[in-house]
Structure 1
Amino acid sequence: MVREINLQKNDITLRSIRDEDLPLLYQLIHGEKEPLWKKYEAPFYSLEPHTLESYTNRENARKQRLSENEVDSRLVIETNGEIVGTVVYYWEEKLSYWLEVGIGIYNPAYWGKGIGTRALNMWIDYLFRAMPLVRIGIRTWSKNDRMLQLASKLGMKEEARIRKAHLYRDSYYDSVRFGVLREEWYLPEEDLHNG
């Protein structure tokens, strides 16, 4: 079983997903047929349909695949004790210590408040501290203005723009990749509280 993570900074908490979180996460992610967040988060890929049971089984299987020494690949984002989203990572190239990260703030009432920026900043800080990573990247598309701004705010560099890579509602959009190297990332003096 993977070790529990609980990172706190001001009003933001990133923590491991608990069994009791699954019904709420399921509702946030799959509760609507066409959720507003999906309009910005790669809408050209369909959201895999799930029941609460299949979603719970998938999440439990994900946790069981992680070894005891691995960093949990998906955490919930809480603000003032309320779950509002998730942060994730996945290996782009494990041999060269290259991760990609992602974030989802599912309730539009929490958009535009800086929660995503602060949460992703905490997540990247933690991943650089917890693993011998060389680089961390973000992949998005040219219509996701919030993610483009967030990556720039965090000091990530636009490293690739694959033109007309995604077709969505009869229009083409670019695939955009950002990255940051370990030596470019500012690691603050104060540690995140991991307790």
Structure 2
Amino acid sequence: MTTSTSTTIQGTKIQLKKLTIQDLPVLYLLMYGDPNPEYKKWDAPYFPLEMIDKETYISKMTKQLNDGLDSIYLIQTQDAEPQTIGSLTYYWEHEPSNWLEMGIIIYLPEYWNGGYGTEAIKLWTDHLFQTKRQIPRVGYTTWSGNHRMVKVGTKLNFTQEARIRNVRTYQGKLYDSIRMGMLREEWEQSKSESTPTPTHNGGI
């Protein structure tokens, strides 16, 4: 069963935790601790990783969080002491028409292929549809070299809405850009076909 509060979303393998100022040193280390991180080979590797020093990063992100930034959640393990293994984001492609996109990174390779990313995207999709009642669709963009992200979308019943061929170059080879999406009515149908959500009394 999935439960949520204003700052955490509980799953089975993982929990999603809203980013706070206290989390910034950990997130910085995951993102920039290695100048050539393994995760970057899959996370849009055709764009270079733009390094930033820790003090500048924390100062910049602290200001954004104090200004109300709510678009980043951490992916954490369900352990006695949860370990941060990744992050989820959303951003507006075009807010006036309620066009919202999401992103995900699992930074630690030992957590790839273990179902963590699949559960994270499922929880995040539910959260976005539940909290942003105006959006008609949720989606993400990946590339044909990232087979895991394409497979996850298919597994979660996202539709491959576009495939722009030979527009991403990595290590001298051409790849396609792939856009995956799910409509609100498709999400609602999938929820109605799953186990009914228990009713909650007294806010518990």
Normalising to structure 1: TM-score of the pair? 0.89
- TM-aligned CA distance change 1:53 to 1:4, over 3 Å: farther
Matched ranges for 1:50-129 at <5 A = 50-66=52-68, 72-80=70-78, 81-129=82-130
For structure 2, list consecutive stretches of 5 or more residues without a partner in the other structure: none
Deviations 1:137-172 (A, max 9, x none): 110011001101111111100011111111112111
Aligned counterpart, 1:190 = 197
- 2 CA distance for matches of 1:122 and 1:168? 31
Aligned residues: 188
Higher RCO (C-alpha 8 Å, min separation 6): 1
- 2 CA distance for matches of 1:116 and 1:22? 21
Over alpha carbons, which structure has the higher Rg? Answer: 2
Q: Tell me the CA shift for residue 99 of structure 1.
A: 0.9
Aligned counterpart, 2:46 = 44
Q: Tell me the CA shift for residue 11 of structure 1.
A: 3.3
* Of 119-128 and 44-53, the range deviating more from structure 2: 44-53
Determine helix, strand or coil for the equivalent of 2:177.
Answer: strand
Deviations 1:78-115 (A, max 9, x none): 01211110000001121221211111110001111100
Determine helix, strand or coil for the equivalent of 2:149.
Answer: helix
* Matching of residue 162 in structure 1 with residue 164 in structure 2: yes
Deviations 1:53-101 (A, max 9, x none): 122123223324437xxxx211001012111100000011212212111
Matched ranges for 1:119-158 at <5 A = 119-131=120-132, 132-158=134-160
- 2 CA distance for matches of 1:166 and 1:9? 34
Cα RMSD over matched residues? 2.1
Determine helix, strand or coil for the equivalent of 1:113.
Answer: coil
Q: Tell me the CA shift for residue 52 of structure 1.
A: 1.2
Contact 1:139-1:176 within 8 A present in 2 as well: yes
Superposition misfits of 4+ residues, deviation over 4 angstroms: none
- 2 CA distance for matches of 1:64 and 1:158? 37
- 2 CA distance for matches of 1:148 and 1:52? 33
State the AA in 1 paired with 2:59.
Answer: N
State the AA in 2 paired with 1:7.
Answer: I
State the AA in 2 paired with 1:93.
Answer: H
Contact 2:13-2:116 within 8 A present in 1 as well: no
Normalising to structure 2: TM-score of the pair? 0.85
For structure 1, list consecutive stretches of 5 or more residues without a partner in the other structure: none
- 2 CA distance for matches of 1:21 and 1:161? 36
